[in-house]
Structure 1
Amino acid sequence: MSIICAQETGLTAEEYTACVGQSALGPTRPLSNAERVQAYLDNSNIVVTARDSNGTLVGLFRGMTDWGWVCYCADLAVIESYQGKGIGALLMNKATEILGPGVTIALLSLPGAEGFYQKIGLTQTGAAFYRDRTHRT
């Protein structure tokens, strides 16, 4: 299996939805609202993709960063049939490489995924807080 990870611009809502919809993140994202999905893709300033040898999107890292201190990882998703092959770790490593050694990656894990993040070397903290959005679609 050959997987290529690279930073991309111009990812479409259609490709994103096809990938994320086949991952654990799918139910937590507004995939039926293509306009909203495209808006958050267009306003993310780092997108790293994992594509198979056919060019099919099988995973992605989407984040927002200031390029000097921190990057918030909003999505780290791998299609379920490709999970367990190291693609999530490849995506995180490629994002880390692109961001450089001075930038921390922060994220909120879905319940149950904490073990994956620990396995790939992220440090867990119990001090995360968030304000929920007011609209859900």
Structure 2
Amino acid sequence: MEIIYKDDIMPDIDQIIDVYNSSGINRPINDKERIKKVYSHSNLILTAWDNDKLVGISRSVTDFYYCCYLSDLAVSKEYQNRGIGKKLIELTKNKIGEQTALILISAPTAKDFYLKIGMQKIENGFIIKRSK
């Protein structure tokens, strides 16, 4: 199995939702329109493919010069623990360059993963949570 990574394709929304379902990421998967809008307003999307099957995706919003918010990182359950998530983060970092900070908010179950791949935990973040 060779995983191919792409930065020039927008997967079908159903493919994205399938990866979300399988990965365990908490997203509004029953609101297809909302997922479409989320992706149409993102400006850095990287994908991982096993032939024509989407198996991983990262979605970011960035200015490419100062900061990048990695909003979603999802890998299908059967493809986890193969380095795909780590590679998607590495490719994101390559795209944004050394001058740009990569920032994310981790799900509680993913904290250990981010520490393991060398990301630094920060304590100075703040949030206004969405109301719906």
TM-score by length of 1: 0.91
Gaps of 5+ in 2: none
Alignment match, 2:42 = 44
Deviation string for 1:34-77 (max 9, x for gaps)? 1110000000000000111x221101110000110110000011
Alignment match, 1:68 = 65
Count of paired positions: 132
Corresponding residue to 1:112 among 93, 104, 109: 109
Amino acid at match of 1:16: I
RMSD: 1.1
CA distance in 2, matches of 1:8, 1:132: 31
Q: CA deviation at 1:120?
A: 1.1
Alignment match, 2:82 = 85
User: Aligned to 1:59, what secondary structure does the other structure show?
Assistant: strand
User: Aligned to 1:112, what secondary structure does the other structure show?
Assistant: helix
Alignment match, 1:29 = 27
User: Aligned to 1:17, what secondary structure does the other structure show?
Assistant: helix
Q: CA deviation at 1:11?
A: 2.8
Q: CA deviation at 1:114?
A: 1.1
Alignment match, 1:99 = 96
Amino acid at match of 2:112: G
Deviation string for 1:64-113 (max 9, x for gaps)? 00110110000011111111100011100111111111111100000021
Alignment match, 1:6 = 6
Amino acid at match of 1:15: Q
CA distance in 2, matches of 1:105, 1:90: 14
Instruction: Give structure 1 regions of 4+ aligned residues with deviation exceeding 4 angstroms.
Output: none
Corresponding residue to 1:58 among 55, 59, 67: 55
